[in-house]
Structures are given as C-alpha cells and as structure tokens.
Structure 1
Amino acid sequence: MSFIVDFFSFIKKYYPYYLEGAKNTILIALFTVILGTLLGTLLALMRLSKKKTLKAIASSYIEFIRGTPVYVQILVIYYGLSTIGISFPEVEFLNPIIGMNFSDFMSCVITLSINSAAYVAEIIRAGIQAVDKGQMEAARSLGMKHGLAMREIIIPQAVKNILPALGNEFVTVIKESSIVSVIGIGDLMKKATNISGKTYMVFLPYLVVAIVYFIITFSLSKLISRFERRMKNSD
C-alpha cells in the first residue's frame, strides 16, 4: 500500500517532466518516420533498379547501416559533422516548439532517419516484389512508362502489404529514440535520468518511463491496426 501511495505521489509531482519528454520523443519519432520512409523508398527503388551501380550503392548502404549500432551512428553524426565543419542553422523560433536546440534536434532526426531508412527500404522492396508481376506488364502494355506505372499502380498496392511492417517500424523508432539521451536531448529517457539524479531514486523514475513508453507504443499499435482494417474494408 505504501508503494502505491509513493507511486502516485511521485507521478503527481513529476508528471510535467514526463509530458515534455513524451512530446519530444513523439516529435523526433514523427520526423524520423517521415524522412526515413522517403529515403527508404528511394533506396528500395534503387535496389530494384536494373542499373548495377544504383543497386550496389543501395545494397552497400543498407548492409553498412544495419551492421552498425545506432548508438555509434548517433555519436558519429553528432560529433563528426561538427568536426568536419558541417552544422545546422539555428532556427530560434522553433526551439520553444520542439523543446530543444534545433541543431541537436536535427542531428537526432537525421541519425535515426538514416538508420530507419535501411530497414524501411527492405520492407518496401519486399512489398513491391509481392505485387503480381502481371500488374506491371499490364501497365506497360497500355503504354505507361516504368516510373509512372510504379507510382500509380505498383506502389499504391504495395502500401497495403507493407502497412503493418511500417507500423511496427514506427513503434521501433519510438523505442530506439531513447538513445538520443546520450547526447543530452530532453526525451523521455533523459527526463527520467534527470529525475533520478535529483531524487536519488532509480526504480520509480524508470518504472514510470517504461509505462509511458508502453502507453505510447500500445496506443500507436491500436491506431495502426484500426487504419489497417479500414484499408482492408475499402478493397
């Protein structure tokens, strides 16, 4: 009983920190999914290209990114870009909105997007290859160019096949975004670490952050499942 009282007392006192961390985590994940999907689509098309050079570039990228830890990648991007003189412009009016420095925010988004794109590319490639080859042959027989047929016929059909996997990737990105706390970004994990440092407590701060992550990912999974059912019903 004492633990339950302490638990709710802790939440009442520190919930604003977790709300801010959740907002930052969702923002990072949202931009990561958008950029990761765009880059992943490009990589998937390159892998399916008949040009060996494009296929080799995409394959090398995917294998390298999937073969290195995201922890290493974020350190390389965050510290490496500044070392070679590359920096993101400061956008002061966005700092209060995103709750952090814009340059740091972009470093996180770009790193996670680069990582996510390697996995999204394989998901999209598999989805495109799952579409009946006769669809492309029929489109070409009607005089459609390959690019137009991909954009208007093949990819829309592939989206329905890959939606569950893309939804799982979004959930994965939300969980993996906890790694950004290592460079001081105020996401959920960083907020929990800060609270732990202030209170000298370990169990409660991280228990609460685990619950918050679960609520976010569970809600997202249910939302994706609902959207998926609607798409199936529209067939």
Structure 2
Amino acid sequence: MGFTQLYETFGALENPSFWQDVYMKFYKAWFEADRWQQYFKGLATTIQVTVIALLIGVVLGVVVAMIRTAHDQQRLGVHNPLLGIVNLICKIYVTVIRGTPMMVQLLIMGLVIFASNRNKTMIGALSLGINSGAYVAEIIRGGLMSLDPGQMEAGRSLGLGYMDTMRFIVIPQAFKAILPSLGNEFITLLKDTSLISVVGGKEIVYFAQAIITRTYETMYPYLITAVMYLIMVLIFTWLQSKLERRLRQSDRR
C-alpha cells in the first residue's frame, strides 16, 4: 500500500490512533502536493547563502585580522598613522557587529539600507557574511597573536616581506590552532541562515512557514526543518573532524 492509500485509509477513520494521527500530519507536511520539493528548494538556497556568507566572512575576517595584527605587532617607537586609522576603523567594525544582535542587523540591512531591493535572499547572505567577518577576524587575530613573535622575526631575517612571512610561516601554523573555533563559527553561520526569513529570504524556514499556512499544522514542518539543519551540521562536523585528523597526521611526519 502506497503513502497516498495509507493517508486516505487513516483519514477515513473517525478516531485514528496516535501513530495514525502522526502519519497523517507528517504526510500533509511532507508528501501531500509534493511539499518535500519545497523543503529541498529551501535547502538549496540555505546552502547557497551559507557559501556566499562564508566567503564574505573569511575574506573580511582575514583582512581585518591582518590589519589589526600588523598594527599590534609594530616595533617599539614605530607608528604608522595610516595603519592606525585603518586599525581604528576595523576595531569599530568588530565592536559594532559583535555588540548588536544578528536579527537587528538583518532588519536594518533588509528593511532600511536595501529596502527597495527585492533580492532579500542575497541581502541576507551579505548581512550574515558581514556579521561572520567580525567573529572570524577575532578568531584569526587571536591565533596569530598567540604564536611566538620569533616566527615573524625568523621569516624577516630570511629576507621575506611581511606578507610572505604571514603567508608561508605564520598563517599555516595559526590555522591549525584556530580550526576548531573556525568550525564552530561556520556551524553558527549555517544555523543563522534560518534568520533571513524575517526579511523575506527564501530558505528552509520560509517554505516551512508557507506550508504551515496551508496545513494549519506547525509541529511537523518545523520538525522537518530542524532535522534538515541537524543533518547539515553533522555533515559539516564530520568534514571538520576529518580535516583536523589529517592536519594532526601531517604534524607527526
């Protein structure tokens, strides 16, 4: 007996059992009118938003971390005025972003700054990327500042410039130390994609809410959404653990 036949059989019962009631509600939330396609449409958007926000966050985070680290590691008696101004701008950016709720930032971006723009999904991705950049910057800066200053001095003594020393010596070592923190930030970013529905972003929660308006049943659409997010987080965590193991193995060689 197919899913449709089961649904029709249980629906004809006057007093269905608990499990029959569960099946009917799940059928309406997932199978009826091919609603599962809407969830996967939202899933594709969620992954797209996560990737775009991740790229924005990493680029912003690396740039801000490099500027702030370069400013903090200036030699005694040496002060670059231009670097000081840029560092101040970066500090304001980090302070404002970390000091205000993600929801408020989304509302300002979607309903104030880009109020006339209809592509709310991309506005959500931009907002998430800007928010993530501040946290990534502090994670990377913490990793860079935790290394022995002798690493930088050794690179400069070999004739490498500041950028080459950071690229070939400092950053590879810092990356191993900050990988768990970066992984946690990226998982948070993935889950925060659910917030873009407040400005009209069409991800999983958006379609779940649309299904709720048709079925008048809130539990199962939200439960399905939660399970889909959980599966994505588990996959990302598994990939992160594999990368960490590979990095540990390379250290032993």
TM-score (normalizing by structure 1)? 0.87
Instruction: Tell whether the 8 Å contact from 2:121 to 2:200 is kept in structure 1 after alignment.
Output: no
- Of 46, 54, 62, the residue aligned with 2:94 is 62
Instruction: Tell whether the 8 Å contact from 2:65 to 2:140 is kept in structure 1 after alignment.
Output: yes
- Of 107, 111, 119, the residue aligned with 1:75 is 107
One-letter amino acid of the structure 2 residue matched with residue 119 of structure 1: Y
What is the Cα deviation at residue 130 of structure 1? Answer: 2.3
What is the Cα deviation at residue 8 of structure 1? Answer: 4.8
Query: 2:31 aligns to what?
Result: 12
CA RMSD of superposed structures (Å)? 1.8
Structure 1 residues 8, 112: CA separation in 2 closer, same or farther (over 3 Å shift)?
same
1:148-176 deviation digits (Å, cap 9, x = unpaired) = 21122111211111111111111101111
Q: Secondary structure at the match of 2:31?
A: helix
Report sequence identity in percent. 38
Query: 1:190 aligns to what?
Result: 206
Instruction: Tell whether the 8 Å contact from 1:44 to 1:125 is kept in structure 2 after alignment.
Output: yes
- Give the distance between the partners of 2:231 and 2:114, measured in 1 at CA: 36
What is the Cα deviation at residue 7 of structure 1? Answer: 5.6
| Number of residues of Structure 1 aligned to a counterpart in Structure 2 | 219
Query: 2:125 aligns to what?
Result: 109
What is the Cα deviation at residue 49 of structure 1? Answer: 2.5
One-letter amino acid of the structure 1 residue matched with residue 23 of structure 2: V
One-letter amino acid of the structure 2 residue matched with residue 47 of structure 1: R
Instruction: Tell whether the 8 Å contact from 2:106 to 2:196 is kept in structure 1 after alignment.
Output: yes
- Give the distance between the partners of 2:229 and 2:141, measured in 1 at CA: 30
One-letter amino acid of the structure 2 residue matched with residue 69 of structure 1: P
Query: 1:128 aligns to what?
Result: 144
Choose 1 or 2 for highest CA Rg.
Answer: 2
Query: 2:11 aligns to what?
Result: none
- Give the distance between the partners of 1:137 and 1:36, measured in 2 at CA: 29
Q: Secondary structure at the match of 1:234?
A: helix
Does 2:63 match 1:42? Answer: yes
One-letter amino acid of the structure 2 residue matched with residue 11 of structure 1: W
- Give the distance between the partners of 1:21 and 1:60, measured in 2 at CA: 35
Detail structure 1 runs of 4+ shifted over 6 Å in the superposition.
none
Structure 2: gaps (5+ residues): 1-18, 72-82
